[in-house]
Amino acid sequence: MALKHTFPKIPMRTMLIIFGVIIPWYILTSCQSSVNEYETRPALSFSQVKEFGLAGCLDYYAVPGCAWAVIDDQGVTTGTLGETFIGSGNPIKATHRFQIGSLGKSYTSLMAAQCVEAGLINWDTKILTVFPTWQEHMHSAYKDITLADLLSHNHSLQPLNAHQTQIDEAGNLIYEDIPNFYGSDSERRRDFSKYALSLVPVETEGVNYGNAGYIIAGCMLEEVTGKTWEILAQELASDLEIEIGFERPNRIGPSQPWGHRLITNKRLQPVAASEREIYNDPLSSPAGNINVNILDFSKYVRQFMNGLHTVDGIVKAETFKYLLMGRNPYAMGWYNDFTTDSIFYHYGSEGTFYCHMMIFANLNAAIIIFTNANNEDTTVNFINDIRNYLKYTYIYGSDS
């Protein structure tokens, strides 16, 4: 005779604690014994990179995982290395998503380009044209800033990349801890923007890189379209026939890549999806808070490559050229460099992932590299080394 076992029903609150707190804690603590030693490693010579190979470089720089893509006339070649987080034993796949950080600035700029082509706003539209009531609390230095100025970091706004109190070299207070803002994500962005526009300007010449300008630009796009930045972002993804998400990808599920931060004893620690910092706060999404896989992001970059060669896409070819070359050395979400070859590039990190894209216009080729390592110099060395390896192996067809 079979025995029927009955079990008490577990309250939903208890289940949330188990799956939202205890299991992530167990994963983090159980992998501590296998956390990598992570010391700053000098960049390798190209001969060393060839000797090590891609997997050897990953080990040398102690990067947990990586996905890469080479885009050229032949199509797209992709590869993966490592694991979703240290000790997981779960290999990185091409379909896994990475948080791309400030690579997302080009995405917000492309959203702006769609709005410009639709006649909803112009590149020279001023902040006060969209938000005339903001003048009352706006510093006078900002009254003529335009959409294009915001997207090219051509302004004197405080960057506001850090929420902690900032002091200048003379010991003068720049701003105290940025206050908390409440309401919907769009409401919080507006309150943040008004706060940013009330601060004293920085003394700067050239590119004044920061997140504040992109958050304000996001507010302008929301105002002229009547849609949230998130809806606009998903509509653009639909037009591109790609899939994106927001914040860290392990919010989708624990099998997705986890970011890593450097902790004591020079060790990398996986970061749970529930941990939120300024760089992945939805308030900052217009400045870079997108997750995407390497295959879909390759489709996205291809649009810009086609535009350089006078092929219309999601926007007109001339608009793509403006996004890439409209200002120098930083246009709309892209750095540009014409000293030797014509290259367009960006790096991006929210502190636990680090990603990179570079278009080689003269070669009609591009390289994308995603990692789930923190933004230490070591990760940048890894990215630059394997980019050179991929360029000479797959684009030039030789590693010599």
Q: Got the DSSP string for 261-279? A: EEEGGGEEEE--TT---GG
Question: CA distances (Å), 135 to each of 121, 131, 143, 308, 321, in order?
Answer: 19, 8, 8, 39, 33
**Bridging pattern class, strands 365-371 and 65-72:** antiparallel
**Quick one: pLDDT at residue 168?**
67
Measured CA to CA, the distance from residue 354 to residue 28 in angstroms comes to 20
**Quick one: pLDDT at residue 276?**
66
**Quick one: pLDDT at residue 340?**
83
**Quick one: pLDDT at residue 271?**
94
Which option is the CATH number for 39-100+239-395: 3.40.710.10, 3.40.50.1980, 3.20.20.10, 3.90.1010.10?
Answer: 3.40.710.10
Q: What are the backbone dihedrals phi and psi of residue 126, each rounded to the nearest 5 degrees, phi first?
A: -85, 155
Q: How many CA atoms lie within 13 A of 369 on its CB side?
A: 27
pLDDT in tens, 12-25: 444 444 444 444 44
Crossing angle of the two packed helices 229-240 and 212-225, in degrees rounded to 10: 80
Sheet of 354-360, strands arranged across: 75-82, 65-72, 365-371, 354-360, 343-348, 335-337
Measured CA to CA, the distance from residue 223 to residue 169 in angstroms comes to 37
**Bridging pattern class, strands 97-99 and 166-167:** unpaired
Could you tell me which residues come within 8 angstroms of residue 375 by beta carbon, excluding any fewer than 6 positions away? 349, 351, 354
pLDDT in tens, 315-371: 999 999 999 999 999 999 999 999 988 999 999 999 899 999 999 999 999 999 999
Measured CA to CA, the distance from residue 178 to residue 215 in angstroms comes to 14
**Quick one: pLDDT at residue 296?**
98
CB atoms near residue 8 (< 10 Å): 5
- Do residues 143 and 126 make contact, with C-beta atoms less than 8 angstroms apart? yes
pLDDT in tens, 10-57: 444 444 444 444 444 444 444 443 445 666 778 899 999 999 999 999
Return the bridge partners of 270, or none: 260
Architecture in CATH for domain 107-231: 3-Layer(aba) Sandwich (3.40)
**Quick one: pLDDT at residue 3?**
34
pLDDT beneath 50, residues of the chain = 1-35
Domain with CATH 3.40.710.10 in the chain: 39-100+239-395, 107-231
| Closest listed residue to residue 384, CA positions, set 345, 326, 333 | 345
Residue 177 burial by CB count (10 A; 0-12/13-18/19+): exposed, middle or buried? exposed
| Closest listed residue to residue 216, CA positions, set 183, 192, 234 | 192
**Quick one: pLDDT at residue 275?**
80
